[in-house]
């Protein structure tokens, strides 16, 4: 099975390493020459939180800089797996999908939200697109080393242009392709499910991120501190309610107890620094436009304003300028 993976951040290193260890042929496309060279010469090391480690020797995962991506790589891939952040998708469209999109058969997207799926669809006329959501915990600790901080689950579902899971009859080849992907990931040690409600999972994660991330980033607090003060909880709740009105107008179904799930995530990850706060502290661009910005744009398309989410977008964008 040929896996071409783009993006060697924490999740990229984790998935590439474990897939290769389970026997898949993995090529990893990195942002920098330096990172590709480090992986080429020393392999990948996955540290476990119990102190153990899994070392993938040099040469098992092929690593190259993304600038060298070529048509044959796209055509050879059984699955092209995108592990870049949302901010990187527009660049990928230019570098990979516009020139080589026609040769790509199956693309698996691990980004939050949905904006990137719509964008990629335009450049993958004949390819299958999968949306993936994972709760695996990974922390990058060097160009070729990652800490697997906690096991989670990976949910994968087919995406199509109607914006809803395919409801019609699947082709036999598509069905086989779906099953092989799930088996591949399970064999590599990732507890993975095929979902025909991937949208529910995507929008659940979007809601959780939209409520937690910008507030932790502006207040510069760990996730759990959101629950320290009734005023903070009240503002989270208002962001939640504003987004619920958008979801309802857009016909996006919500699970019961979604608010309780948000509170639960704050508790379970109470000492964690959200990815957005990390970006703010390190002066990097954040994912705000793909998280709260998605909710604002979704609302605009359905005639529902989300002024609090909108102001938060602009305050976060102003922070990192």
Cβ 264 to its own copies shortest distance, Å: 21
- Cβ-based nearer residue to its own copies, 219 or 259: 219
Determine the size of the site formed for its own copies (CB under 8 A).
18
- Cβ-based nearer residue to its own copies, 12 or 299: 299
- 263 is an interface residue for its own copies by CB under 8 A: no
Question: Which has the closest alpha carbon to 289: 151, 77, 85?
Answer: 85
Kindly compute the dihedral angle of the four CA atoms of residues 158, 161, 163, 169, in this order, to the nearest 10 degrees: -50
Which neighbouring-strand residues pair with 2? 25
According to CB under 8 A, which residues from 228 to 257 bind its own copies?
A: 228-229, 231-232, 235
Cβ 228 to its own copies shortest distance, Å: 7
- 284 is an interface residue for its own copies by CB under 8 A: no
Compute the distance between CA of residue 202 and CA of residue 199 in angstroms, rounded to an integer. Answer: 5
CA distance to 22, 27, 240, per residue, from 304 (Å): 47, 44, 14
- Cβ-based nearer residue to its own copies, 51 or 318: 318
- Cβ-based nearer residue to its own copies, 60 or 218: 218
Piece of the chain touching its own copies by CB under 8 A; list 115-123, 201-209, 224-232, 282-290: 224-232
Instruction: Please classify residue 90 by burial: count the beta carbons closer than 10 Å to its beta carbon, then call 0-12 exposed, 13-18 middle and 19+ buried.
Output: exposed
* CB of 92 closer than 8 Å to CB of 74: no
Residues contacting 197, CB < 8 A, separation 6+: 157, 165
- Binding residues vs its own copies (CB under 8 A): 215, 218-220, 228-229, 231-232, 235, 307-308, 311, 314-315, 317-319, 321
């Amino acid at each position: 099975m040929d896996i071409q993976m783009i993006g060697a951040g924490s999740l990229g290193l984790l998935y590439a390493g474990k897939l290769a260890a389970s026997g898949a042929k993995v090529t990893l496309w990195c942002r920098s020459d330096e990172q590709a060279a480090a992986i080429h010469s020393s392999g990948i090391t996955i540290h476990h939180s119990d102190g153990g480690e899994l070392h993938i020797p040099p040469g098992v995962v092929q690593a190259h800089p993304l600038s060298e991506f070529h048509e044959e790589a796209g055509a050879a891939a059984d699955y092209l797996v995108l592990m870049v952040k949302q901010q990187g998708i527009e660049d990928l469209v230019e570098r990979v999908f516009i020139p080589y999109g026609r040769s790509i058969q199956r693309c698996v997207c691990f980004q939050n939200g949905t904006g990137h799926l719509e964008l990629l669809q335009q450049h993958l006329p004949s390819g299958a697109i999968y949306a993936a959501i994972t709760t695996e915990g990974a922390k990058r600790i060097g160009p070729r080393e990652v800490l697997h901080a906690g096991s989670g689950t990976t949910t994968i579902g087919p995406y199509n242009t109607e914006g809803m899971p395919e409801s019609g009859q699947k082709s036999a080849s598509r069905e086989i392709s779906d099953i092989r992907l799930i088996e591949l990931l399970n064999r590599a040690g990732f507890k993975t499910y095929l979902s025909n409600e991937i949208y529910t999972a995507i929008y659940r994660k979007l809601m959780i991120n939209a409520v937690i991330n910008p507030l932790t980033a502006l207040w510069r607090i760990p996730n759990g501190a959101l629950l320290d003060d009734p005023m903070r909880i009240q503002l989270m709740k208002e962001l939640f309610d504003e987004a619920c009105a958008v979801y309802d107008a857009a016909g996006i179904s919500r699970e019961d107890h979604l608010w309780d799930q948000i509170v639960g995530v704050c508790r379970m990850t109470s000492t964690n620094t959200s990815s957005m706060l990390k970006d703010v502290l390190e002066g990097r661009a954040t994912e705000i436009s793909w998280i709260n910005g998605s909710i604002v744009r979704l609302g605009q398309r359905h005639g529902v304003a989300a002024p609090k989410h909108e102001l938060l977008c602009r305050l976060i964008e102003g922070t990192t300028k």
